[in-house]
Amino acid sequence: MVNDEIRDQLIAAERTFEGSPGTIEEGLDVDDAELVQLRRACRLLEVGSTLLDQGYYTVVIESAFVAIERTIQFRLIHDGAMSPEEVISSHRRLYQRGAEIGLYDDAFGDDLAELWNRNRTKTYYRLGIATKEQAEAMHRLAADVHRHLVDMSRVSHECLCRE
């Protein structure tokens, strides 16, 4: 059982998601859903780089996976393979959808899903401890996937990473 103060904080947090938007994160004040996903990925890569330098390896790994997923989602929406309202809650399914529309081959999609399943789950649930080497490798992978998929789009000029 939680105390009343914590319950009140939960209610207050819920209300912030129900009301009209407050201060919008820098760079995300765009109308197109595809650009929101693109720029979320950019911001995640930026913060991942900052946190890598500060030694927050678990968070870097987490943000790298999310940046990859936001970039794939950007391309799915951009290419008309996904509606902006659609939610893909399965990591494996999101990676498969990217392969289905030719963003990469099936083997690469399967490898991404397996990497997520084996390694992210391992560090996330404390069955393993994130290392600098893992964080660096994941951040490089995320940045390269992002750059590749964005460069193949018609809106690469919208990428915040290019500024």
Within a domain: residue 22? no
Instruction: Write down the pTM of the prediction.
Output: 0.90
Residue 24 is given by DSSP the state P
Q: Maximum distance among all alpha carbons in the chain?
A: 52
Residue 21 lies in a domain: no
The pLDDT assigned to 24 comes to: 86
- Residue 13 lies inside a defined structural domain of this protein: no
The answer to whether residue 8 sits within a structural domain is: no
In a 3-state reduction of DSSP, which class is residue 55? coil
Distance of CA 148 to the CA centre of its chain: 15
Is 16 inside a domain boundary? no
**Mapping DSSP to helix (H, G, I), strand (E, B) and coil, where does residue 64 land?**
helix
- Domain assignment present for 68: yes
Assess if residue 20 is contained within a domain. no
Indicate whether 148 belongs to any domain.
Answer: yes
| Alpha helices in the chain, H assignment, sequence order | 4-18, 33-53, 57-78, 91-100, 106-115, 121-124, 132-151
Per-residue pLDDT tens digits of the chain, which is 163 residues long: 679 899 999 999 999 888 777 888 888 889 899 999 999 999 999 999 999 999 999 999 999 999 999 999 999 999 999 999 998 888 999 999 999 999 999 999 999 999 998 886 676 666 778 899 999 999 999 999 999 999 999 999 999 997 6
Instruction: For residue 158, give its domain range.
Output: 27-162
Question: Which pLDDT belongs to residue 94?
Answer: 96
At 123 the pLDDT is 66
Q: For the chain, how many structural domains are there in total?
A: 1
What CATH number does the domain containing 49 carry? 1.20.120
Phi/psi region, residue 127 (left: phi>0; alpha: psi -120 to 50; beta: rest), is alpha
- Tokens 């030719």 sit at which residue? 102
* Per-residue H/E/C for 36-49: HHHHHHHHHHHHHH
CA atoms within 13 A on the CB side of 19: 9
Helix and strand numbers, DSSP H then E, in the chain:
7, 0
